[in-house]
Amino acid sequence: MERRFLAAAVQLAAGPDKQANLDTVERLARRAAEEGASLVVLPEVCFWRGERAQERAAAEPIPGPTTDRLAALALALGIHLVGGSILEQIPGAPKVFNTSPLFDPSGTLRACYRKVHLFDVDIAAHVSVRESDTRAHGGETVVVPTQLATIGLSVCYDLRFPELYRRLADAGAEIICVPSAFTFPTGAAHWEVLLRARAIENQAYVIAPNQIGRSPAGVADYGHSLIVDPWGIPLACAPNGERVIVGEIDLDYLDQVRRELPSLAHRRLGR
Protein backbone atom coordinates (compact mmCIF):
# COMPACT_ATOMS: atom_id res chain seq x y z
CA MET A 1 0.00 0.00 0.00
CA GLU A 2 1.05 3.58 -0.62
CA ARG A 3 1.59 5.31 2.71
CA ARG A 4 0.77 8.82 1.54
CA PHE A 5 -1.62 9.98 -1.19
CA LEU A 6 -4.27 12.58 -1.99
CA ALA A 7 -8.01 12.08 -1.60
CA ALA A 8 -10.79 14.30 -2.92
CA ALA A 9 -14.39 15.05 -1.98
CA VAL A 10 -16.73 16.32 -4.70
CA GLN A 11 -19.48 18.83 -3.87
CA LEU A 12 -22.33 19.40 -6.31
CA ALA A 13 -26.08 19.90 -6.72
CA ALA A 14 -27.84 16.95 -8.37
CA GLY A 15 -31.26 17.04 -10.00
CA PRO A 16 -33.63 14.70 -11.85
CA ASP A 17 -31.64 14.67 -15.13
CA LYS A 18 -29.37 11.60 -14.94
CA GLN A 19 -27.33 12.50 -17.99
CA ALA A 20 -26.62 16.02 -16.71
CA ASN A 21 -25.68 14.65 -13.29
CA LEU A 22 -23.33 12.06 -14.76
CA ASP A 23 -21.69 14.70 -16.95
CA THR A 24 -21.10 16.86 -13.86
CA VAL A 25 -19.73 13.92 -11.89
CA GLU A 26 -17.31 13.03 -14.69
CA ARG A 27 -16.11 16.62 -15.07
CA LEU A 28 -15.46 17.05 -11.34
CA ALA A 29 -13.89 13.62 -10.92
CA ARG A 30 -11.50 14.45 -13.74
CA ARG A 31 -10.65 17.71 -12.01
CA ALA A 32 -9.91 15.79 -8.81
CA ALA A 33 -7.66 13.37 -10.67
CA GLU A 34 -5.86 16.27 -12.35
CA GLU A 35 -5.17 17.66 -8.87
CA GLY A 36 -3.50 14.37 -7.99
CA ALA A 37 -6.24 12.54 -6.11
CA SER A 38 -5.95 8.75 -6.02
CA LEU A 39 -9.24 8.38 -4.16
CA VAL A 40 -12.32 10.39 -5.19
CA VAL A 41 -15.55 10.36 -3.18
CA LEU A 42 -18.87 11.63 -4.58
CA PRO A 43 -21.92 12.81 -2.59
CA GLU A 44 -25.11 10.89 -1.81
CA VAL A 45 -27.78 10.47 -4.55
CA CYS A 46 -25.67 12.44 -7.00
CA PHE A 47 -26.88 10.58 -10.12
CA TRP A 48 -30.60 11.17 -9.75
CA ARG A 49 -32.48 13.34 -7.29
CA GLY A 50 -36.16 13.84 -8.01
CA GLU A 51 -39.59 13.47 -6.48
CA ARG A 52 -39.81 10.69 -3.92
CA ALA A 53 -42.77 9.11 -5.73
CA GLN A 54 -40.49 8.61 -8.77
CA GLU A 55 -37.64 6.89 -6.94
CA ARG A 56 -38.60 3.33 -7.80
CA ALA A 57 -38.85 4.20 -11.50
CA ALA A 58 -35.46 5.94 -11.38
CA ALA A 59 -33.71 3.11 -9.53
CA GLU A 60 -31.29 0.82 -11.36
CA PRO A 61 -29.82 -2.63 -10.90
CA ILE A 62 -26.20 -2.93 -9.78
CA PRO A 63 -24.34 -3.61 -12.02
CA GLY A 64 -26.31 -1.34 -14.32
CA PRO A 65 -25.95 1.71 -16.58
CA THR A 66 -24.70 4.13 -13.92
CA THR A 67 -22.25 1.74 -12.27
CA ASP A 68 -20.96 0.74 -15.72
CA ARG A 69 -20.20 4.38 -16.43
CA LEU A 70 -18.54 4.82 -13.04
CA ALA A 71 -16.42 1.73 -13.62
CA ALA A 72 -15.25 3.17 -16.94
CA LEU A 73 -14.48 6.49 -15.23
CA ALA A 74 -12.41 4.86 -12.49
CA LEU A 75 -10.50 2.92 -15.14
CA ALA A 76 -9.94 5.94 -17.39
CA LEU A 77 -8.67 8.09 -14.50
CA GLY A 78 -6.78 5.30 -12.71
CA ILE A 79 -8.46 6.13 -9.37
CA HIS A 80 -10.33 4.50 -6.54
CA LEU A 81 -13.84 5.93 -6.77
CA VAL A 82 -16.58 5.91 -4.16
CA GLY A 83 -19.65 6.53 -6.28
CA GLY A 84 -21.65 8.55 -3.76
CA SER A 85 -24.89 6.63 -3.71
CA ILE A 86 -27.27 5.20 -6.27
CA LEU A 87 -30.92 4.21 -5.84
CA GLU A 88 -30.71 0.45 -6.36
CA GLN A 89 -33.60 -1.70 -7.53
CA ILE A 90 -34.74 -4.50 -5.24
CA PRO A 91 -36.32 -7.14 -7.52
CA GLY A 92 -40.00 -7.58 -6.76
CA ALA A 93 -40.00 -5.00 -3.96
CA PRO A 94 -41.78 -1.62 -3.82
CA LYS A 95 -38.80 0.09 -2.17
CA VAL A 96 -35.18 0.70 -3.19
CA PHE A 97 -31.80 0.61 -1.50
CA ASN A 98 -29.63 3.72 -1.21
CA THR A 99 -26.35 2.10 -2.22
CA SER A 100 -22.76 3.35 -2.19
CA PRO A 101 -20.42 1.53 -4.63
CA LEU A 102 -16.62 1.41 -4.52
CA PHE A 103 -14.52 0.92 -7.66
CA ASP A 104 -10.79 0.33 -7.98
CA PRO A 105 -8.49 1.71 -10.71
CA SER A 106 -9.10 -1.33 -12.91
CA GLY A 107 -12.79 -0.40 -13.02
CA THR A 108 -13.75 -3.36 -10.83
CA LEU A 109 -16.74 -2.92 -8.54
CA ARG A 110 -15.16 -3.93 -5.24
CA ALA A 111 -18.10 -3.48 -2.86
CA CYS A 112 -21.54 -2.01 -2.31
CA TYR A 113 -22.81 -0.57 0.97
CA ARG A 114 -26.56 -0.22 1.43
CA LYS A 115 -27.47 2.62 3.77
CA VAL A 116 -28.53 1.22 7.14
CA HIS A 117 -30.08 4.26 8.84
CA LEU A 118 -32.87 6.10 7.03
CA PHE A 119 -33.64 9.79 7.56
CA ASP A 120 -37.15 9.95 9.02
CA VAL A 121 -37.40 13.32 10.79
CA ASP A 122 -39.83 16.16 11.35
CA ILE A 123 -38.12 19.30 12.62
CA ALA A 124 -40.75 22.00 12.91
CA ALA A 125 -40.40 24.84 10.38
CA HIS A 126 -37.21 23.31 8.96
CA VAL A 127 -37.33 19.84 7.45
CA SER A 128 -39.77 16.94 7.21
CA VAL A 129 -38.48 13.81 5.47
CA ARG A 130 -39.41 10.12 5.56
CA GLU A 131 -36.86 8.18 3.55
CA SER A 132 -38.36 4.90 4.75
CA ASP A 133 -41.51 5.59 2.70
CA THR A 134 -39.59 4.63 -0.45
CA ARG A 135 -36.27 3.15 0.71
CA ALA A 136 -35.32 -0.07 2.48
CA HIS A 137 -32.79 -0.39 5.29
CA GLY A 138 -29.50 -2.09 4.54
CA GLY A 139 -28.18 -4.47 7.15
CA GLU A 140 -24.42 -4.93 6.75
CA THR A 141 -21.28 -2.94 7.44
CA VAL A 142 -18.75 -2.81 4.60
CA VAL A 143 -14.97 -2.47 4.93
CA VAL A 144 -12.75 -2.96 1.87
CA PRO A 145 -8.96 -3.46 1.82
CA THR A 146 -7.54 -1.67 -1.22
CA GLN A 147 -4.06 -0.92 -2.54
CA LEU A 148 -4.37 2.57 -1.03
CA ALA A 149 -5.86 1.85 2.41
CA THR A 150 -8.66 -0.03 4.11
CA ILE A 151 -11.87 1.88 3.37
CA GLY A 152 -15.11 1.81 5.38
CA LEU A 153 -18.36 2.90 3.77
CA SER A 154 -21.32 4.81 5.21
CA VAL A 155 -23.93 7.29 3.97
CA CYS A 156 -25.21 10.60 5.39
CA TYR A 157 -27.64 9.96 8.29
CA ASP A 158 -25.47 7.01 9.38
CA LEU A 159 -23.20 9.71 10.79
CA ARG A 160 -25.42 10.00 13.88
CA PHE A 161 -24.91 6.35 14.89
CA PRO A 162 -21.44 5.87 16.38
CA GLU A 163 -21.86 2.12 16.76
CA LEU A 164 -21.69 1.73 12.98
CA TYR A 165 -18.37 3.59 12.83
CA ARG A 166 -16.91 1.56 15.68
CA ARG A 167 -17.72 -1.58 13.72
CA LEU A 168 -15.89 -0.10 10.74
CA ALA A 169 -12.86 0.69 12.92
CA ASP A 170 -12.93 -2.79 14.45
CA ALA A 171 -12.88 -4.23 10.94
CA GLY A 172 -9.73 -2.25 10.15
CA ALA A 173 -11.02 0.89 8.44
CA GLU A 174 -8.34 3.56 8.02
CA ILE A 175 -10.50 5.84 5.87
CA ILE A 176 -14.24 6.25 6.37
CA CYS A 177 -16.35 7.73 3.59
CA VAL A 178 -19.61 9.58 4.31
CA PRO A 179 -21.30 10.59 1.01
CA SER A 180 -24.10 12.91 2.05
CA ALA A 181 -27.04 15.13 1.20
CA PHE A 182 -27.04 16.59 4.72
CA THR A 183 -29.70 19.24 5.19
CA PHE A 184 -28.95 22.84 6.12
CA PRO A 185 -30.63 23.15 9.54
CA THR A 186 -29.14 19.95 10.93
CA GLY A 187 -25.89 20.50 9.06
CA ALA A 188 -25.30 23.96 10.48
CA ALA A 189 -25.70 22.56 13.98
CA HIS A 190 -24.08 19.14 13.76
CA TRP A 191 -22.25 18.33 10.48
CA GLU A 192 -18.69 19.33 11.35
CA VAL A 193 -18.81 18.28 15.00
CA LEU A 194 -20.14 14.81 14.12
CA LEU A 195 -17.57 14.26 11.38
CA ARG A 196 -14.73 15.33 13.66
CA ALA A 197 -16.10 13.15 16.47
CA ARG A 198 -16.26 10.06 14.23
CA ALA A 199 -12.65 10.71 13.14
CA ILE A 200 -11.42 11.17 16.72
CA GLU A 201 -13.34 8.23 18.21
CA ASN A 202 -12.18 5.81 15.56
CA GLN A 203 -8.76 7.33 14.81
CA ALA A 204 -9.46 7.32 11.10
CA TYR A 205 -9.52 9.73 8.19
CA VAL A 206 -13.07 10.82 7.30
CA ILE A 207 -14.02 11.99 3.80
CA ALA A 208 -17.47 13.58 3.62
CA PRO A 209 -18.70 15.08 0.33
CA ASN A 210 -22.04 16.83 0.63
CA GLN A 211 -24.65 18.16 -1.77
CA ILE A 212 -25.57 21.81 -2.17
CA GLY A 213 -28.71 23.56 -3.39
CA ARG A 214 -32.25 22.38 -2.68
CA SER A 215 -33.84 18.95 -2.90
CA PRO A 216 -37.03 18.47 -4.95
CA ALA A 217 -38.91 18.78 -1.65
CA GLY A 218 -37.42 22.26 -1.23
CA VAL A 219 -35.05 21.36 1.61
CA ALA A 220 -31.71 23.18 1.46
CA ASP A 221 -28.53 21.10 1.68
CA TYR A 222 -25.65 22.29 3.82
CA GLY A 223 -22.61 21.76 1.60
CA HIS A 224 -19.38 22.34 3.55
CA SER A 225 -17.84 19.07 2.33
CA LEU A 226 -15.04 18.07 4.68
CA ILE A 227 -11.91 15.92 4.94
CA VAL A 228 -10.81 15.24 8.53
CA ASP A 229 -7.63 13.61 9.84
CA PRO A 230 -7.45 11.00 12.65
CA TRP A 231 -6.73 13.71 15.24
CA GLY A 232 -10.00 15.42 14.29
CA ILE A 233 -8.36 18.28 12.38
CA PRO A 234 -10.14 19.43 9.19
CA LEU A 235 -7.72 19.16 6.28
CA ALA A 236 -10.04 20.71 3.69
CA CYS A 237 -13.50 22.27 3.77
CA ALA A 238 -15.53 23.32 0.76
CA PRO A 239 -17.06 26.79 0.58
CA ASN A 240 -20.49 27.17 -0.98
CA GLY A 241 -20.84 26.14 -4.58
CA GLU A 242 -19.73 23.33 -6.83
CA ARG A 243 -16.29 22.34 -5.58
CA VAL A 244 -13.56 19.71 -5.40
CA ILE A 245 -11.52 19.64 -2.19
CA VAL A 246 -8.33 17.64 -1.71
CA GLY A 247 -6.50 16.48 1.39
CA GLU A 248 -3.46 14.34 2.06
CA ILE A 249 -3.94 10.89 3.58
CA ASP A 250 -0.84 9.89 5.55
CA LEU A 251 -1.07 6.33 6.87
CA ASP A 252 2.18 6.69 8.83
CA TYR A 253 0.57 9.55 10.71
CA LEU A 254 -2.55 7.47 11.30
CA ASP A 255 -0.37 4.68 12.73
CA GLN A 256 1.36 7.24 14.95
CA VAL A 257 -1.95 8.52 16.34
CA ARG A 258 -3.13 4.99 17.10
CA ARG A 259 0.21 4.05 18.66
CA GLU A 260 0.64 7.13 20.86
CA LEU A 261 -3.00 7.29 22.01
CA PRO A 262 -4.20 3.67 21.81
CA SER A 263 -7.76 4.38 22.88
CA LEU A 264 -9.23 1.71 20.62
CA ALA A 265 -7.18 -0.88 22.55
CA HIS A 266 -8.21 0.58 25.93
CA ARG A 267 -11.95 -0.10 25.56
CA ARG A 268 -13.58 -1.93 28.46
CA LEU A 269 -17.19 -2.02 27.22
CA GLY A 270 -18.85 -3.15 24.03
CA ARG A 271 -16.13 -5.46 22.77
> With 80 as the cut, is the pLDDT of residue 32 above it?
yes
Mean pLDDT value of segment 131-147? 97
Confidence band of 82 (pLDDT split at 50, 70, 90): very high
Q: Quick check: is 248 catalytic?
A: no
pLDDT score at 174: 98
Q: Quick check: is 163 catalytic?
A: no
> With 80 as the cut, is the pLDDT of residue 51 above it?
yes
pLDDT score at 2: 67
Does residue 271 lie in a domain region?
A: no
pLDDT score at 129: 84
CATH number of domain containing 55: 3.60.110.10
Q: Which residue in the list 60, 156, 174, 177 is annotated as catalytic?
A: 156
Cβ-based neighbour number of residue 101 at 10 Å: 25
Does residue 228 lie in a domain region?
A: yes
- Nearest alpha-carbon partner for 221 in 241, 204, 201, 236: 241
pLDDT score at 250: 98
Collapsing DSSP states into helix, strand and coil, what is residue 145? strand
Confidence band of 169 (pLDDT split at 50, 70, 90): very high
Q: In whole numbers, what is the pLDDT of the chain averaged over residues?
A: 96
Mean pLDDT value of segment 24-48? 98
Does residue 233 lie in a domain region?
A: yes
Q: Quick one: which H or E segment has residue 165? A: helix 162-170
Does residue 133 lie in a domain region?
A: yes
Confidence band of 198 (pLDDT split at 50, 70, 90): very high
Domain count, the chain: 1
Confidence band of 125 (pLDDT split at 50, 70, 90): low
Mean pLDDT value of segment 2-31? 96
Confidence band of 78 (pLDDT split at 50, 70, 90): very high
> With 80 as the cut, is the pLDDT of residue 270 above it?
no
Mean pLDDT value of segment 5-13? 98
Q: What DSSP designation does 86 have?
A: E
Q: Which residue in the list 18, 44, 46, 95 is annotated as catalytic?
A: 44
**Measured distance CA(63)–CA(113) in Å, rounded:** 13
Confidence band of 1 (pLDDT split at 50, 70, 90): low
Confidence band of 217 (pLDDT split at 50, 70, 90): confident
Domain that holds residue 81: 4-266
Does residue 111 lie in a domain region?
A: yes
Report the share of the chain in percent with pLDDT over 90. 91
Alpha-carbon distances, residue 215 vs 43, 48, 70, 125, 152 (angstroms) = 13, 11, 23, 16, 27
Does residue 96 lie in a domain region?
A: yes
Mean pLDDT value of segment 88-99? 97
Does residue 225 lie in a domain region?
A: yes
Mean pLDDT value of segment 35-60? 96
Whether the CB-CB separation of 62 and 229 falls below 8 Å is answered with no
Q: Which residue in the list 115, 131, 174, 177 is annotated as catalytic?
A: 115
Q: Quick check: is 44 catalytic?
A: yes
Confidence band of 109 (pLDDT split at 50, 70, 90): very high
Mean pLDDT value of segment 48-69? 96
